[in-house]
């Protein structure tokens, strides 16, 4: 192709500082506290959380990510009150209905990670339809639904064993995230500093950022700032 090898775009050097993040994941936490601060029901906090998701997905294009992964419902969130779980499931139904055309129009490819097939049958059906309609999109949006990292690893190990070998590669190949790029940056909002069973395997060498912003207040500018912060970091992967 006659390319100039000294052009400075060295794709073999992803470890250097100032490389751009391709895959960012967010633990969207703090909806309940956002509502509590305003003496509003938790459900309103979750509604505003959905609006923050919509705002972020719409503002994503200039950031040139290959993949954004959002933790929407954990396998432990079933422990919440029946009313809260119902509210969350209904918001999910509403969100898919209202935003699917937007995804299709904006070249978003929906991916779902977690044990989502055991959600309510009507939600599973809506999700299957959404996956099909967005399959040709080039900008990946992965949503973690009924997701638990330990369960994901156990399921992947089981499949790897059925295929005849348990190695780090064969487990990775069977994770729900197998089709997604490697995780670069994991962000958690609301000031909590823990993973809460999110992307345990994938976070092995991801950079982490914990911000105090409550999820409903999170704006595309916050992600832009996080990407700038990421670009300053030096990733070493154990080597020097």
Residues forming a β-bridge with 97: none
- Has 77 been annotated as catalytic? yes
CA 180 to each of CA 38, 94, 132, 174: distance values in angstroms, whole numbers, following the listed order = 38, 26, 17, 12
Q: Is 75 in the site for ligand IPE (CB under 6 A)?
A: no
148 binds ligand IPE (CB under 6 A): no
**Residue 184 a catalytic site member:** no
- Closest CB to ligand IPE among 28 and 223? 28
Q: If you write DSSP's letter for every residue of 33-94 in order, what string do you get?
A: HHHHHTT--HHHHHHHHHHHHHHHHHT-GGG--SEEEEEEEETTGGGS-HHHHHHHHHHHHH
Using DSSP's 3-state secondary structure scheme, residue 209 falls into strand
**Interface with ligand IPE (CB under 6 A), residue from 52, 57, 88, 126:** 88
The catalytic position among 10, 12, 29, 197 is: 29
Residue among 106, 133, 196, 213 that touches ligand IPE (CB under 6 A): 196
**Does residue 72 interact with ligand IPE by CB under 6 A?**
yes
Q: From residue 24 to residue 43, what is the string marking binding to ligand IPE with x (rule CB under 6 A)?
A: ---xxxxxxx----------
Total residues binding ligand IPE (CB under 6 A): 19
- Tell me which of ligand IPE, Mg ion, none is bound by residue 196, counting a contact when its beta carbon lies within the kind-specific cut-off of 5 to 8 angstroms: ligand IPE
Listed in sequence order, the residues at least 6 apart from 52 whose beta carbon sits closer than 8 Å to its beta carbon are: 28, 215, 216, 217, 218, 219
Task: Provide the token pair at 48.
Answer: 């505003």
Residues in contact with 200: Cβ distance below 8 Å, sequence separation at least 6, in sequence order:
149, 150, 152, 153
State the binding string over 3-32 for Mg ion (x if CB under 5 A, else -): --------------------------x---
| Residue 72 interacting entry, from Mg ion, ligand IPE, none, C-beta within 5 to 8 Å by type | ligand IPE
Residues forming the site for ligand IPE (CB under 6 A): 27-33, 49, 71-74, 77, 88, 190, 192, 194, 196, 215
């Amino acid at each position: 192709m006659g390319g100039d090898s000294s052009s400075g775009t060295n794709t073999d050097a992803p470890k250097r500082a100032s490389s751009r993040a391709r895959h960012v994941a967010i633990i969207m936490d703090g909806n309940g506290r956002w509502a509590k601060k305003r003496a509003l029901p938790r459900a309103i906090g979750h509604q505003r959380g959905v609006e923050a998701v919509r705002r972020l997905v719409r503002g994503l294009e200039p950031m040139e990510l290959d993949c954004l992964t959002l933790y929407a419902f954990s396998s432990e969130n079933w422990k919440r009150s029946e009313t809260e779980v119902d509210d969350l499931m209904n918001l999910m139904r509403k969100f898919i209905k209202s935003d699917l055309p937007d995804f299709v129009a904006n070249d978003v490819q929906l991916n779902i990670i977690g044990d989502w097939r055991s959600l309510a049958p009507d939600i599973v059906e809506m999700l299957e339809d959404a996956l099909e309609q967005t399959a040709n999109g080039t900008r990946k949006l992965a949503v973690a639904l009924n997701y638990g990292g330990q369960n994901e690893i156990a399921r992947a190990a089981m499949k790897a064993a059925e295929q005849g070998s348990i190695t780090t590669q064969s487990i990775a190949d069977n994770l729900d995230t197998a089709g997604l790029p490697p995780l670069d940056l994991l962000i958690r909002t609301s000031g909590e500093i823990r993973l809460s069973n999110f992307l345990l395997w994938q976070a092995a060498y991801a950079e982490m950022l914990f911000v105090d912003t409550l999820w409903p207040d999170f704006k595309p500018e916050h992600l832009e700032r996080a990407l700038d912060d990421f670009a300053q970091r030096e990733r070493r992967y154990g080597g020097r």
